[in-house]
Amino acid sequence: MSEKQPLSEGQILTGPLFDEPMRVETIRTGSAEVWVVGLVGVQSERFRNVTLNSQYISDLSILDVKKSFNGDGRLLRLGIQAYALGIAYEFDPYFGLSISRVDLLPHQLEAVYDYLLKLARVRFLLADDAGAGKTIMAGLLIRELKLRGLAERILIVCPANLTFQWQRELKEKFDEVVKKNQTPVRNASERYGAKSCRNL
């Protein structure tokens, strides 16, 4: 049995045995000149156990990963700030409001934060009197859902004569660019499929 292990934790292995660079997570000695190595793919992050003998190891390229502190500090700070913004809603429930250019009324705050966002699946029809702030409520809801990673696509249905107003207010107050769809509703099922239209 070999006295010294040829690999150590943290090393990166490349070679014909693997389809991506692999990071050594664990290593233990099997029989003579055989080691059971726990590896994680650098790109896929998939864990696998492999049994390697000294011949297989000699066919691999081994990169020692040494920690260094000579990276770009500005990029590190930018990355930390981006991560903090990505999880800010967990610490500030009104985060979407704090980064929007709008002053909300009490009934708008109550609708968005006490009713709309509390449910696991947001399915509401925003219908209120003219001038009650439906655009602002919808914009704030869109902002919060996007910040939390809960919205991929958003469909806004409004009267044709208010389309420009909605686009302008969402752009000015929430920095949301809304594209106008010219497809008539009666043709939507033909274009997108009847099943998709039922699920909207």
Question: In sequence order, what DSSP letters do the residues of 122-187 get, joined into one string?
Answer: --------TTS-HHHHHHHHHHHHHHTT--S-------GGGHHHHHHHHHHHH----PPP---HHH
Which region among 49-58, 73-82, 159-168, 176-185 has the lowest average model confidence (pLDDT)?
176-185
Q: Which CATH architecture has domain 92-199?
A: 3-Layer(aba) Sandwich (3.40)
The answer to whether 17 and 59 are in contact (CB under 8 A) is yes
- Please tell me the predicted confidence (pLDDT) of residue 1: 41
Find the mean pLDDT for residues 19-36: 86
**Tell me, what's the pLDDT at 78?**
92
Cα three-residue angle 105-158-170, rounded to 5 degrees: 50
Phi-psi region of 149 (alpha: psi -120 to 50; beta: other; left: phi over 0): left
For the CA atoms of the chain, what is the radius of gyration?
Answer: 27
Q: What is the pLDDT of residue 61?
A: 85
Half-sphere exposure of 57 (CA within 13 A, CB side): 17
- The yes-or-no verdict on residue 200 having pLDDT over 50 is no
Q: What is the pLDDT of residue 176?
A: 82
Q: Is residue 77 very low, low, confident or very high in pLDDT (cuts 50, 70, 90)?
A: very high
pLDDT-above-70 percentage for the chain: 86
Looking at residue 193, what is its pLDDT? 53
The DSSP secondary-structure symbol of 91 reads T
> How high does pLDDT run on average in the chain?
78
The whole-number average pLDDT for the span 107-114 is: 80
Q: How far apart are CA 80 and CA 75, in angstroms?
A: 9
